[in-house]
Chain A
Amino acid sequence: MSDFLAMGGYATFVWWSYGLTAAVLIGLAVFALRRARARREELDQLQARLGPGRRESRQ
């Protein structure tokens, strides 16, 4: 296991590469999902307030 983590002496470079990649991809994903949910909830609330005159637009 420690052999694996050492990456033949290149641990810093290999693990920083994978760590940065994960941070960017997970960061973009969490941001997109949170914003999508917030907007959907806001739209639902607004449509509920506007009442039955409006058709439901969620799909």
Chain B
Amino acid sequence: MASSLHRFANPNRFMRLSGAVLPWAAVITAILFPIGLYLALFASPPDYQQGETVRIMYVHVPAAWMALFVYTTMAVASAVALIWRHPVADIAARAASPLGAGFTFIALATGALWGQPMWGTWWVWDARLTSVLILFFLYLGHMALFDAFDDPTKGARAAAILALVGAVNVPIIHYSVEWWNTLHQPASILRDGGPSIAASMLWPLFIMAFAFKAYFVTFLLVRMRSDITAAKLRALRRTQVEGAGMSAATPAAAEADRA
């Protein structure tokens, strides 16, 4: 397991692979968003109870799914980073959290904008809404911890531990609508017995969900590649300070040399 993982640990191999995947992810994002928006705003029917506000669902639900998906991705990457000291895993976790925070913010904000006309309130402190707000703060804490130490490996370690501890919140969010009485409705898609919403609304929802996922893949890769470039820059500067022409003395500089 460890040895097969380490084949992907090499940042150069990652740069090659991600360079091949990135254009496809970008193209899929660019194709799916216009189709999804057309279906969500024009081609899908208004709801018989909620009227046109149901269109908020097509951004709210994909954003909420991504908020959980990105956190799970981040927790897995953090576990890999802690257990196997996999350098690309730390980079992945770091690149993911601002995107996850963005998705969580969208879910919270569109939820408030949907709650006001349908529930008569922007916000309630119920289990679902509160646990998602905690998720948002976990993302912000993860982003802050990475930069809170002078030694970047210490920051990465602390952030990885936070990501793993915070992972208990993911099933709590998912099951909150079943375990507690909440104003939020229970799951309509990921439930026993299959989706309970009409196909005319299911398709726009799925296409928007795939658009959000393709967007995440695209910008996760952009951010990871950019962080690897930054690491090379730091390593090169360090060798420059130590004196040009000297052989690489630090592991980081040796890494840049191989690059």
Interface residues on A, range: 20 to 34
* Secondary structure of the B contact surface, majority rule: helix
Q: Which residues of A contact B42 (CB under 8 A)?
A: 4
Is chain A's interface secondary structure helix, strand, loop, or mixed overall?
Answer: helix
> A59 an interface residue at 8 Å Cβ cutoff?
yes
Whether B222 and A50, one on each chain, are in contact in the complex, defined by CB atoms closer than 8 angstroms, is: no
Bound together, the chains give a CA A31 to CA B196 distance in angstroms of 38
- Residues of B that sit less than 8 Å from A by CB: 12, 15-16, 19, 41-42, 46, 51-53, 55-56, 59-60, 63, 98-99, 102, 105-106, 109-110, 113-114, 116-117, 215, 219, 222-223, 225-226, 229-230, 232-233, 236-237, 240, 244-245, 256, 259
Question: Could you say which of B19, B219, B230 contacts A29, with CB atoms under 8 Å apart?
Answer: B219
Q: Which of A17, A40, A42 has the most CB of B within 10 A?
A: A17
- Map CB proximity to B onto A16-59 as digits: 1 under 8 Å, 0 otherwise: 11101100110111001101100110110011001001010101
Q: Which of A13, A32, A47 contacts B117 (CB 8 A)?
A: A13
Chain A residues, CB < 8 A from B51:
8-10
- List chain B residues, Cβ under 8 A from A8: 46, 51-52
Whether the pair A21, B59 counts as a contact (CB closer than 8 A) is yes
- Contact yes or no, B60 A32, CB < 8 A: no
Specify which chain B residues have a CB less than 8 angstroms from the CB of A33 in the assembled complex: 222
Complexed CA–CA distance, A47 and B251 (Å):
19
Q: A16 to chain B: which residues have CB within 8 Å?
A: 113
Q: Are B46 and A40 in contact (CB under 8 A)?
A: no
Q: Are B52 and A14 in contact (CB under 8 A)?
A: yes
Q: Which of A7, A25, A53, A57 contacts B232 (CB 8 A)?
A: A57
* Choice from A9, A21, A43, A57 contacting B63 with Cβ under 8 Å: A21
| B46 touching A21, Cβ below 8 Å | no
What is the minimal beta-carbon distance from B185 to any residue of chain A, in angstroms? 17
Report the nearest B residue to A6, measured CB to CB: B52
| Across-interface contacts of B12 in A (CB, < 8 A) | 59
Q: Report chain B residues within 8 Å CB of A4.
A: 41-42
Give the complex CA separation of A33 and B226 in angstroms. Answer: 9
Cβ A14 vs Cβ B53 within 8 A: yes
Closest A residue to B259 by CB, please name it: A57
A53 to chain B, nearest CB (A): 8
Q: Are A39 and B226 in contact (CB under 8 A)?
A: yes
Residues of the A chain whose Cβ atoms lie less than 8 Å from the Cβ of B225: 36
Contacts of A25 in B (CB 8 A): 102, 106, 215
User: In the complex, which of the residues B55, B59, B116, B240 contacts A50, with contact meaning CB atoms closer than 8 Å?
Assistant: B240
CB of A7 within 8 A of CB of B99, answer no
Instruction: Give chain B residues whose Cβ lies under 8 Å from the Cβ of A35.
Output: 226
Known: A13-B56, A14-B53, A46-B236. 11 other contacts (CB 8 A): A17-B55, A17-B56, A20-B109, A28-B219, A40-B226, A43-B229, A43-B233, A46-B237, A50-B240, A53-B245, A59-B12
Residue of B nearest to A13 (CB): B113
